[in-house]
Structure 1
Amino acid sequence: MIVLSDDIDLPDRDTVLGQTVPFDPARWLPLLPDATWWPTALDECPHVGRWPRVDRRTVFRIASQADTSEGRRHLLVAALVWGTGTKAQSVNRRARIFQPSSLADIDTRLGAALDVLRERGAADAYWAFNNDRHVPHLGAAFFTKVLYFAGHDSATVRHRPVILDSVVSRVLKATGAVDASWPGNGWTTDQYRLYVEGVHEYAQARGVLPDQVEAALFDHGKQLA
């Protein structure tokens, strides 16, 4: 069971949807299988200083078109871009998923995992991405981003998926929401299920959406780094 603190300072939903991350298209484009994998919506993102910045709202808009193979490819790339930032090393690490797998294999695994999300929910989709539908080099911190954008605002998903990464995990441990054995990464399906259920219960009690809780946890976790 995950027990969250009663005094979490929760952002409003507009603040969550407006959370932006800078990115460098010139670093991403040469690493993609071809130019069709790049979502054109990313070209419309506003520049702030040197870099364009993508927000959650834009990735949700891209995810709304994920009912085709091309749309799912765009969702995957947009989630990677939003979660990575501008550092060349980080971009190269994320783009490794395109190297060992055939494009058909990525399409099949991504589509199957998102089918599981719609049909059986977030925890079962997490299991699929972590097991028989695993895409090499796509770890939980990033495939939970894919699940989040694909399913958080969907009326057909019972438990809205939420992002779980090392930053969120850090604050869960620091605040005693989980015990000392909770890992910093590589969470089991049961651990992800407990996390999703805990976030949902807390969000319901506070009259907010689950991603408002996740965003608050992430912000707190960054302060603990």
Structure 2
Amino acid sequence: MQSSAVDLIPEGTSVPDRDEVLAQAIPFDRNRWLSCLPGADWWPPELDDCPTVAGRQRVDRSTVFRVARRSDTTEGRRHLLTAALVWGTGTKARSVTRRAEIFAVSARDIDARLKAGLGTLRQAGPVAAYYAFNNDQHIKHLGPAFFTKVLYFAGHEQCDETWRPLILDRFVALALRAADTEETWPTSGWTTPWYRRYVHITHEHALKAGVAPDQIEAALFSWGKQLK
């Protein structure tokens, strides 16, 4: 573990190294997900190669990044959405069912909005893409905590390293609420200015600490879980 970043991460909270971030793995139930998807063709084949630990397959960030490299096609974008949902959800039946509400929308609508939102990411960057997915390209039941996962995996290798998309969920927000004393951070319903502020301060502190921005995000997530 590396030393804590200046100011944003409290003393005593370690920032994980890059390998630890990439190895962050979440268990999943393949059959449970397949029963919820619009079709078997939405399932990324990379997930079938994930290792099994204590009877459950586990998907890590590096695997979702591999899926994201195919997000320039309709099938690839579908696979990215599924992989991001699987990585962010875990194995509880109720959680999987709740996430799968996204697929109640027509596949054509999801495809169009994913293509437009990720196109905005490539052309205009993470903040504009956040606005798109939170407004004109919003997919019903896909809120910021999960569409920022899609943006993160799709954009980490596409975007300039000085301004990359990052995951913003309630645990990260709880940490920001405790650390960033200039504002009182909401724990949900983040508008685009909040996301811009988050990306800015995270990149700023990553630069100070000499680490990647998602290492700071991972540290904030870990701290936020302790604060819940």
Q: Same fold (TM over 0.5)?
A: yes
* Structure 2 counterpart of 1:151, one-letter code: G
Range 19-28 or range 166-175, more displaced: 166-175
Gaps of 5+ in 1: none
Q: 1:158 to 1:134 in 2, by over 3 A?
A: farther
| Number of the residue aligned with 1:86 | 91
Name the CA distance, whole Å, in 1 between partners of 2:182 and 2:76.
Answer: 36
CA RMSD of aligned residues (A): 1.4
| Number of the residue aligned with 1:12 | 17
| Number of the residue aligned with 2:4 | none
Gaps of 5+ in 2: 1-6
Name the CA distance, whole Å, in 2 between partners of 1:49 and 1:124.
Answer: 41
Is contact 1:20–1:53 with CA below 8 Å preserved after alignment? yes
| Number of the residue aligned with 2:43 | 38
1:25 counterpart = 2:30: yes
Alignment of 1:1-225 (within 5 A): 4-5=8-9, 7=11, 8-99=13-104, 101-155=105-159, 159-177=163-181, 179-180=183-184, 182-225=185-228
Name the CA distance, whole Å, in 2 between partners of 1:222 and 1:53.
Answer: 20
Secondary structure of the 2:186 match is coil
Name the CA distance, whole Å, in 2 between partners of 1:107 and 1:159.
Answer: 26
**Alpha-carbon offset, residue 153 of structure 1:** 2.1
Q: 1:155 to 1:179 in 2, by over 3 A?
A: closer
Name the CA distance, whole Å, in 2 between partners of 1:178 and 1:141.
Answer: 23
Is contact 1:62–1:78 with CA below 8 Å preserved after alignment? yes
Secondary structure of the 2:35 match is helix
Runs of 4+ in 1 over 6 A off after TM superposition: none
TM-score (norm 2): 0.93
Name the CA distance, whole Å, in 2 between partners of 1:199 and 1:157.
Answer: 12
Secondary structure of the 1:31 match is coil
Number of equivalences:
221
* Structure 1 counterpart of 2:76, one-letter code: G
Name the CA distance, whole Å, in 1 between partners of 2:80 and 2:57.
Answer: 18
Secondary structure of the 1:163 match is coil
Name the CA distance, whole Å, in 2 between partners of 1:128 and 1:51.
Answer: 35
